[in-house]
Amino acid sequence: MERRDLRVCFVGDSYVAGVGDETGLGWVGRVVAAAGRADELGVELTAYNLGIRRDTSVDVARRAAAECGPRLRPAQDARVVVAVGVNDTVLEDGRPRTTPAETRAALRRLHDEVRSAVPGAALLVVGPPAVDDDAHVARLHERERALSDEAAALGVPFVGCLTTTEHDEVWRAAVRAGDGFHPRSAGYERLAAILTDPVLTWLTTPTDPAVAPASAARGGRAEGVRVVGMTGEHGDDVVRIYGEGIATGDATFESRTPTWPELDAKWLPAHRLVAVADGRVLGWAAATPTSTRAVYRGVVELSLYVAQEARGRGVGTALMRAFLESAEAGEVWTVQSGVFPENAGSLALHAAAGFRVIGSRERVGLMTHGPHAGRWRDVVLLERRAP
Ligand SMILES: CC(C)(COP(=O)(O)OP(=O)(O)OC[C@H]1O[C@@H](n2cnc3c(N)ncnc32)[C@H](O)[C@@H]1OP(=O)(O)O)[C@@H](O)C(=O)NCCC(=O)NCCS
């Protein structure tokens, strides 16, 4: 059986980086090693450690989308583990480096920006461990609550380790033997023992409809099809499928197939998706802004094309669903499409996704190719407002 391409970024602070661990593994390295041993996961796991010393939640939120985006976009199943909190609560000039409200806002920003850069990416929040200072631990409890409350508000799972590490003699002794913050390897061993089960359980559970097999929603019609972010690697397939659409004579007035650089330059980076199965690209969805005016920044025009070999079995529907989810997460409030009245498949696809017909633009353009060449053709204008 083909193994699922699962990629995970661990973003956070020095605990994520494993500072103080003489084995170099930290808790992240141990969890990833446990995942590698667990054959039943049925996944091809790629893990990235993006921990930076001294980073607060605000620092991590600032860089997460830029760092996770290129690492996760090719994945069938993209995951981000966020682990922050100790640096937020370190005192500087007598005050914690960030407030609980700032931590919550940072988590929300990170969530929104990562999901806009990697549509369908799933997040898990890991709370901070205890340090060797009771006043600091008290501040950590408050911060753990802020993180878990915000995670709940975002619909993201949260795993805490503060109370367990606070009362764990091995952890506390290892932190004391270290620098008062970071434990030696025995401490990371304990932290990994606490976190491995919940993290692996989450990794093995499909959490987002946009990355789950489309067949789940299509009653099996699009068996094995997954929708993932489009990258330059997909460029040749995207252009080929565009060409197949032009060849129908009912997809677009365009008669020349654009090149990948042309498409890359005009499409919004945040909302480009491909449907793949067995390593083959079966279709794509992308959007252009309808206007350069700021007031219309949330209004986009959709293009959606399915490879000839894959039409009529739910691929378009899976792409449409994932595109609308990405658009809504990215503050797009209106998606519009122009469709030839003869394109029954496209009209059915749009109707099923909740688009309404604004009207028909009669004889609006001269067709230059295909069976309707030489005819001035109508275009049906459809739009869908975000709920
Ligand atoms: C239009 C297109 C995107 C649809 O993709 P698809 O993968 O075939 O669509 P799906 O299999 O998900 O079917 C979507 C709906 O359309 C219906 N449908 C699909 N092809 C149809 C056809 N030729 N005639 C009538 N209905 C059709 C399906 O029954 C389904 O309806 P349902 O949800 O009620 O069952 C695809 O045919 C295509 O890429 N065509 C060439 C490019 C193009 O025209 N793009 C659109 C430009 S506006």
Considering only CA atoms, which of 71, 81, 83 is closest in space to residue 13? Answer: 83
Out of 175, 204, 233, pick the residue that ends a domain: 204
The pTM assigned to this predicted structure is 0.53
- What tens digit of pLDDT does each residue of 322-340 get? 999 999 888 899 999 999 9
Q: Residue range 218-229: average pLDDT?
A: 71
Give yes or no for residue 270 having a pLDDT over 80.
yes
Q: How far is the CA of 320 from the centre of ligand 1 (A)?
A: 11
Q: Which CATH number covers residue 188?
A: 3.40.50.1110
Nearest to 202 by CA among 82, 79, 120, 116: 79
Residues 138 and 246 in one domain: no
Ligand 1: which of 252, 337, 346, 372 to mutate, most ligand atoms within 8 Å of CB?
Answer: 346
- Whether the Cβ atoms of residue 162 and residue 140 lie closer than 8 Å to each other: yes
pLDDT, mean of residues 305-323 = 94
Task: Compute the distance from residue 329 Cα to the ligand 1 centre, in Å.
Answer: 25
∠ CA 331-125-109, rounded to 5°: 30
pLDDT value at position 349?
Answer: 92
The residue type of 118 is V
pLDDT category, 221, cuts 50, 70, 90? low
pLDDT band with cut points at 50, 70 and 90 for residue 23: very high
* Residue that finishes a domain, picked among 204, 237, 260: 204
Comparing 136 with 198, which gets the higher pLDDT? 136
Is residue 56 assigned to a domain?
Answer: yes
- 128 and 257, same structural domain? no
The residue-averaged pLDDT of 224-243 equals 94
Based on the domain organization, do 172 and 271 belong to the same domain?
Answer: no
Residues 247 and 152 in one domain: no
Domain membership flag for residue 209 = no
Q: What is the mean pLDDT of the chain?
A: 90
In-domain check, residue 210: no
Last residue of a domain, one of 178, 204, 230: 204
Do 378 and 230 share a structural domain?
A: yes
pLDDT value at residue 38: 66
Identify whether residues 223 and 193 lie together within a single domain.
no
Return the residue matching tokens 């929708």.
Answer: 227
| pLDDT average, residue stretch 9-36 | 95
Shared domain check, 238 and 273:
yes
Confidence label for 214 from pLDDT (cuts 50, 70 and 90): very low
Q: Give pLDDT, residue 217.
A: 35
| Dist. CA 14–CA 178, nearest whole Å | 13
Which residues have C-beta atoms less than 6 Å from ligand 1? 245, 248, 250-251, 304-306, 311-317, 337, 339, 343-346, 348-349, 352
CA nearest neighbour of 162 among 175, 152, 178: 175
Burial degree of 324 (CB within 10 A; 0-12, 13-18, 19+): buried
Number of domains in the chain: 2
Domain containing 154 equals 4-204
pLDDT at 2: 64
